[in-house]
Structure 1
Amino acid sequence: MITTIGDRNITLKDFYQILFKEEALDVSAAAMQRVGDCFAFLADFAKDKLIYGINTGFGPMAQYRIDEREQEQLQYNLIRSHCAGQGKPVDTLFVKALMIARLNTFLQGKSGVHPEVVVLLKEFINRDIFPVIFEHGSVGASGDLVQLAHLALSLIGEGKVWHEGRQVDAADVLAAYDLAPLSIHLREGLALMNGTSAMTGIGVVNLIHSRNLLNWSLLASSLLSEIVESYDDHYSAELNAAKHHPGQQYVAAQMRTILHDSDLVRKRHEHLYKKVTEAVLEDKVQEFYSIRCVPQILGPVYDTITNATTVVLHEINSVSDNPIIDKDQGNVYHGGNFHGDYVSLEMDKLKIGITKLSMLAERQLNFLLNNKLNQKLPPFVNLGRLGINLGMQGAQFVATSTVAENQTFSFPMYVHSIPNNNDNQDLVSMGTNSAQITSKVIENTYQVLAVQLLTTLQAVDYLGFEERLSSVSRGVYQQLRALVPAFTEDGVIADKILKIKEYIQTEHLQLPTAPVSQAAHAPAAVTEAVAS
């Protein structure tokens, strides 16, 4: 299969197919024509004019005019001098995403790059040649300069790349595939670096994972409703229609779809809406908030993912260069499209939303583990002998400490600007930091959900509820049990948690689609967004 880009806006599904299903990428002929036409226009337009980054210095040194004989060297100097990244290498999945994001920007035909850039970037993406890019370096304002400098460095045949699981010299990989290093024609160095593609590339992967986490949390929450044999009105259409939030109504509709054939959830009118003679009821009339308020808690997470998806895709399908080359208007415009505030704010909101999701998972886990709260399971869902065996006790510490880290990570980067670059960049976005911290929150949340799901499996077995679960819940239960069978004796539990975590991280859960009538005001954009 091949995903062709350049003739329409790229979508989250396109990214999913290329990144997670390893589809090849191609570029439309119309987009290649736009790129070539824009380059030809700029080459002619710049002959007798002063154009930033072609015949001037950069940033605070823009007042220095560069002689024509040194303009090519200027681009090489820019790339090499900004290859200053430090910290851990960025995961290759994020690197592939940022390369797709940068390529898509060039395909808008407003960057003035030579078509050679497009061809070589496409080759890198399709051959899984990943520049070694480091986590620290971008303030997200004049573009992701440092991270994208390392991308540019590999394209000119210098520095290191990841290929077939190893770090190797970029020059050797180019030679192995008979690919010529990128030549500088006009402004290829600046165009590769001057944009928001690192934060948007990482951001789009975050969005795909966030949707997956939401689905797994919906499934885990529904399973918990079955385990406690809760009443079904807290996710009813009637109750949730009384609030007009699309996310709340979507979450409730999905829970109704998951639980539609469960033999465990109860209808309130059959148990309580009749003459009741007991002075003190054994059953709770209403469940704890972490069970009863799932639509109200996960609904804002859904809405946050929806809005962040819109904003990040707007950014990816935009032109984040400076200057902008406008062939149609016959002009070059200088400004600040490289500023990453839009993405920074959405990534901050996303990490807060996913942190809240992890907090919900931790509270639901605590309910399962605390026999004084649930009043139906042994302490720590211990299926062995109480006292000699410890069940899931140790695993709870992992979930609790990890959620605490998420809460700390949730401090917003968007408002943490530090001026730099001789105060030329006096208010910056920190968008790449925000996107990378969000990715850490997401990774942490997979760990927390893995502990919760493993505990849930044990609870289902203790209660003997497998055959009474809804068909959706039972199917997922069986998939996870195939990975980790039920256990009574204590052993190293880390391996069991890791198996669940790796499974839910790579197997993107696709829940049955709630009927339109049930989804109420839920926007179609998000249900289409990922892996439909």
Structure 2
Amino acid sequence: MQKLYKTAYHTNPMLVENTITLASLYKILFEEEPLTLSDPCMQKLEESFNFLKTFSNDKIIYGINTGFGPMAQYRIEDESLSQLQYNIIRSHATGAGQPLPERYVKAAMVARLYTFLQGKSGVHKELALLITEFINRGIIPYVPEHGSVGASGDLVQLAHIALTLIGEGEVFYQGKKRDTASVLAENGLQPFQMHIREGLSVTNGTSVMTGIGIVNLIYARQLMQWAVGASVMMNEIATSYDDFMSEPLNEAKQHEGQQEIARMMRQWVKDSLCVRKRENELYNGKHEEKIFTHKVQPYYSLRCIPQILGPVYDELLNAEKVLINEINSACDNPIVDPDTQNVYHGGNFHGDYVSFEMDKLKIAVTKLTMLAERQINYLFHDRINGILPPFVNMGVLGLNYGLQASQFTATSTTAECQTLSNPMYVHSIPNNNDNQDIVSMGTNSALMAKTVIENAYQVMAILMMGIVQAIDCLDIADRISPRSQQVYKEIRAFFPVFREDTPKYKEIESMMVYLKKGRFQEK
């Protein structure tokens, strides 16, 4: 394969075909594995470009020799065709708000690359190669969060990415925000020059919402694993009867997610000395007690974990299906099809699939967060748990306060998640001279899901702080399951047991870093 650019990354890059899995996306986004385009991909790009070049000579095709959007009724003269492609990029780079974090922008570039690799966009291969160089070298376009209505896709945010590909705008590079031109020069890269329709193709589609969604999904899957582990450790602290996670009970209900969560819990709790066997204590011998000192059935936030997290698990599976389908699709307009020798005008840029899925994902993660908040309340409320001091306070009651104030943070953050869970999918507002008269708001939905997931990590961090404090309060570190012991030891390595009052904001941040760092990698 011809190399147009000098490379500056490590060896053994991932060979890119025209489809990708979540596991490969994880390697690119979280392990910085570099990419190289395969020969079949390059051939597919060239075939699509060459067909469009020939086909478009004497035809009227949207975005090649017409204006864009409601301006499509105006024909563009031949001498202005190249300028037209630059104009859509420059005119649409109108984003506002905070910059989208680098990992999410990188994911959007990967998503855009895979749209082109379907061979249905008619773009020149140099565009795909330059995007690959940006990904491999860590050249991350400055992309403001706000601007997309999610139909014609992510026009505004993609325009900010496109702006950097033509050597304009700004990028983040090696930890600093810099002008693009100097970074390209430093890396021996040339700005992209328009051929036929690359300005439209690079700005038109669902790649930003899809990229955000992919990162959201990976973080949410990690969070799900922690929710399962925390729930097991909660039941170890409460010395619950273990039959709520039993196989016969959960297979009596025909939901894959519930059964899988119960299986995961049984695996985590294996060899624990804390959980109880109902058959050994309540089904054995004669019982004449009038009041049972140990709860026969614990609170729902401890007992109903498979039923609560099961639907969340199922949603994660569906979100993966939708997002992987989207990233392996051609999502721009028009669609260039060398196989049928035609160019089709339609709406593959419309983001409803991603929008709907991100709404469902944020609802699922909010429910997970609500569960964690209730488990925090169980740990901190001495009159509910009956075994721990208030707020797992290991100091002097009244003088010291334990994790009392941390609950305020968890409660307020959970409340914000509940509000953010209102759907964007049904909040279409017509715009663009009513050309875009029904839109997806998919990027807003993905961004709100991103916030909900970040909030959920904050609440989970406080829960895990409470759990390890409770384990030390009860002196049961040697009785919990081996897997729970491993987590306990890892946390105590950076969050030691405490009795005196100290600020906890740095510890919450450290705990979030720990929870995100990749214990449960993509399979």
Shorter-normalised TM range: over 0.9
Does residue 161 of the first structure (1) align with residue 165 of the second (2)? no
**Equivalent in 213, 216, 225 of residue 203 of structure 1:** 213
**Equivalent in 254, 257, 260 of residue 264 of structure 2:** 254
RMSD, aligned CA? 0.9
Q: TM-score, normalized by length of structure 1?
A: 0.95
Q: Which whole-Å CA distance do the structure 1 matches of 2:518 and 2:273 have between them?
A: 26
Q: Which whole-Å CA distance do the structure 1 matches of 2:166 and 2:55 have between them?
A: 25
Output aligned runs, 1:95-494, within 5 Å: 95-274=105-284, 275-494=286-505
Q: TM-score, normalized by length of structure 2?
A: 0.97
Q: Which whole-Å CA distance do the structure 2 matches of 1:290 and 1:509 have between them?
A: 24
User: Is the 1:344–1:435 Cα contact (8 Å) retained in structure 2?
Assistant: yes
1:517 is matched with which residue?
none
User: What are structure 2's unaligned runs of at least 5 residues?
Assistant: 1-10
User: What are structure 1's unaligned runs of at least 5 residues?
Assistant: 511-529
* 1:120 Cα deviation from its structure 2 partner: 0.4
* 1:7 Cα deviation from its structure 2 partner: 2.4
Q: Which whole-Å CA distance do the structure 2 matches of 1:137 and 1:499 have between them?
A: 32
Q: Which whole-Å CA distance do the structure 1 matches of 2:146 and 2:469 have between them?
A: 42
Does residue 30 of the first structure (1) align with residue 40 of the second (2)? yes
User: Is the 1:215–1:509 Cα contact (8 Å) retained in structure 2?
Assistant: no
Q: Which whole-Å CA distance do the structure 1 matches of 2:464 and 2:271 have between them?
A: 21
Cα distance change on mapping 1:92 and 1:263 into 2, 3 Å: same
Cα distance change on mapping 1:8 and 1:117 into 2, 3 Å: closer
1:531 is matched with which residue?
522
Letter aligned with residue 261 of structure 2 = V
* 1:9 Cα deviation from its structure 2 partner: 2.0
Cα deviation digits, residues 19-42 of structure 1 (max 9, x gap):
111111111110011001110110
* 1:446 Cα deviation from its structure 2 partner: 0.5
Q: Which whole-Å CA distance do the structure 1 matches of 2:514 and 2:311 have between them?
A: 26
Cα deviation digits, residues 69-116 of structure 1 (max 9, x gap):
100000111100000000000000000000000001101111000001
User: Is the 2:241–2:276 Cα contact (8 Å) retained in structure 1?
Assistant: yes
SS in 2 for 1:88: strand
Does residue 82 of the first structure (1) align with residue 92 of the second (2)? yes
Q: Which whole-Å CA distance do the structure 2 matches of 1:79 and 1:230 have between them?
A: 60
Q: Which whole-Å CA distance do the structure 2 matches of 1:271 and 1:403 have between them?
A: 37
Q: Which whole-Å CA distance do the structure 2 matches of 1:315 and 1:281 have between them?
A: 55
- The percent of aligned pairs where both chains have the same amino acid is 56
**Equivalent in 503, 506, 511 of residue 495 of structure 1:** 506
How many residues were matched structurally?
512
Letter aligned with residue 383 of structure 2 = K
Cα deviation digits, residues 1-28 of structure 1 (max 9, x gap):
6453542520111111011111111111
Q: Which whole-Å CA distance do the structure 2 matches of 1:52 and 1:5 have between them?
A: 33
Cα deviation digits, residues 273-330 of structure 1 (max 9, x gap):
1311111111111010000000000000000010010001100000001000000110
* 1:476 Cα deviation from its structure 2 partner: 0.6
Cα deviation digits, residues 314-359 of structure 1 (max 9, x gap):
0000000100000011000000000000000000000000000000
SS in 2 for 1:509: coil
Q: Which whole-Å CA distance do the structure 2 matches of 1:498 and 1:53 have between them?
A: 47
2:6 is matched with which residue?
none
Cα deviation digits, residues 104-155 of structure 1 (max 9, x gap):
1101111000001011000000000011000110000111000000011000
User: Is the 1:6–1:104 Cα contact (8 Å) retained in structure 2?
Assistant: no
* 1:531 Cα deviation from its structure 2 partner: 2.1
